Structure 1
């Protein structure tokens, strides 16, 4: 819809204004991302894309542990070539591991420097992936929830044993939970005649809320995602969102996992670290309702 139509059409419906604002926000803020859809009936490929489970591939069969030597549990694995995402690794594996305490390895006081301590979470990059899985390099762990003697916790449902993930390239616009939303909204609003915005506001009551609702409706939606924008349940934790990229976003998924009360987890990395393929300073955080 052309701008002049918006400004000169006296009977323009408020819903059309909302839709045009959203179209422009999507135009201005969309970023490439890989969306991962759980295939619940497909067993994990330990050299491919998968989420959860009790086993993972590790060179020389060495398990991933915390700084204190406790085992970390596999959260998700991404095979970076399927498909590749501009600006991100185009080969190898990204493996995400978390602790089994009540906070799933989250440290509220952590920053990008302290994450390198690997105390209770870890992101590991393996640039070379074999073509054949070696049985001697498979690390097996006890299943969470089946052994009452083990006080282990993860966000996964106790009857979930992992599954494959189907990757798809998407365009991901900003969500209203991110700090980028407000300046994007204000910038787009400034493109309209004030009278049009005033009339739309009068018609819908709360124009910004109507825009947020429509933006949620048109966004592609992604349970698990690399790239694009993060999602926060409570507030944006980033200090400089121009220089921090989404290595992994994981939303709660009823049949797979639950971050507290319908929360969401983010693994964020500084642009300079990603360019150097340095994953020792990834910030891991999650929040819930």
Structure 2
């Protein structure tokens, strides 16, 4: 006769096998960018935040009202080795200083071309030497309600270098892809086995979600892989949309509202054409 421990071990083994199969079925390549907080930004490399950035001709990128857009991150494309992504040049992500950091929460891919309060800029050729007259220096700013100036960065953070690491990431339960992936896998097991696991664990799917969250390879800053949403998946067609950049909240560095996450999403065809005018910039929080 099976003991309580036997039943628990059997249920846990089922969860582990479901996790293994979902991970195998949904894994995607990605590049995780690890902050090196003690290393100053290289303006021709990959970095997060900071008070300056490199710009051809030294021309700053400005918002619709002429105010400067501030650097959220820069990715040196030679750090990427992902199918369909550029392998040379720089990708710059600049955001506004309004209370939503330049994000239009009602935007879609087509309307984002008209959003002048954020910019994703691709610079195809990186010079070998940094020209001082092509450095745009900005005053360090923090959240300042009196001046209506806001950034997600904490006041003592002045930017840091990013180190690239290649990873494979499985789908997370905040993406619309998770439910069909879970249903495909759970249908491969005997229903009585699943019911017995439910009687032990209470909710097999939640146990799978918890285990996958604990084992996730996802990183705080990432290109490729899957986006992270704290409210709901905003994508209309997740088979044709790629993560150009994901930046999650990180204590003592930056915070999107109440522990939120920002995503820059691009349609596959736009990325192939190196057209970054329709990138969907969105963030949500708890």
Q: TM-score range by the shorter chain?
A: over 0.9
Q: RMSD in angstroms over aligned alpha carbons?
A: 1.7
What is the alpha-carbon distance in structure 1 between the residues aligned to residue 16 and residue 103 of structure 2? 38
CA contact (8 A) 1:67 1:117 kept: no
Residue 5 of structure 1: aligned partner:
none
Residue 6 of structure 1: aligned partner:
none
Residue 250 of structure 1 pairs with residue 241 of structure 2: no
Residue 90 of structure 1: aligned partner:
87
What is the alpha-carbon distance in structure 1 between the residues aligned to residue 252 and residue 31 of structure 2? 21
Residue 185 of structure 1: aligned partner:
182
Shift in Å at residue 84 of structure 1? Answer: 2.3
Alignment of 1:115-264 (within 5 A): 115-145=112-142, 150-264=147-261
CA contact (8 A) 1:43 1:163 kept: yes
Residue 3 of structure 2: aligned partner:
none
What is the alpha-carbon distance in structure 2 between the residues aligned to residue 147 and residue 201 of structure 1? 51
Equivalenced residue count is: 281
Deviations 1:185-232 (A, max 9, x none): 000001111121111111100111000000001111300000000000
Moved segments of 4+, more than 6 Å: 146-149
What is the alpha-carbon distance in structure 2 between the residues aligned to residue 146 and residue 179 of structure 1? 34
Residue 31 of structure 2: aligned partner:
34
Equivalent of 1:280 in 259, 277, 286: 277
Counterparts in 2 of 1:10 and 1:55: CA distance versus 1, 3 Å: closer
**5+ residue gaps in structure 1?**
1-8
Deviations 1:49-83 (A, max 9, x none): 10001100000001011233221100000001114
What is the alpha-carbon distance in structure 1 between the residues aligned to residue 113 and residue 264 of structure 2? 13
**5+ residue gaps in structure 2?**
1-5
Q: Tell me, what secondary structure is at the counterpart of 1:202?
A: helix
Residue 15 of structure 1 pairs with residue 18 of structure 2: no
Shift in Å at residue 149 of structure 1? Answer: 7.3
Residue 49 of structure 1 pairs with residue 49 of structure 2: no
Counterparts in 2 of 1:10 and 1:177: CA distance versus 1, 3 Å: closer
**So what's the TM-score if we normalise by structure 1?**
0.94
Residue 58 of structure 1: aligned partner:
55
**So what's the TM-score if we normalise by structure 2?**
0.95
What is the alpha-carbon distance in structure 2 between the residues aligned to residue 286 and residue 276 of structure 1? 25
CA contact (8 A) 1:266 1:286 kept: yes
Deviations 1:158-193 (A, max 9, x none): 110000011100001100000000000000001111
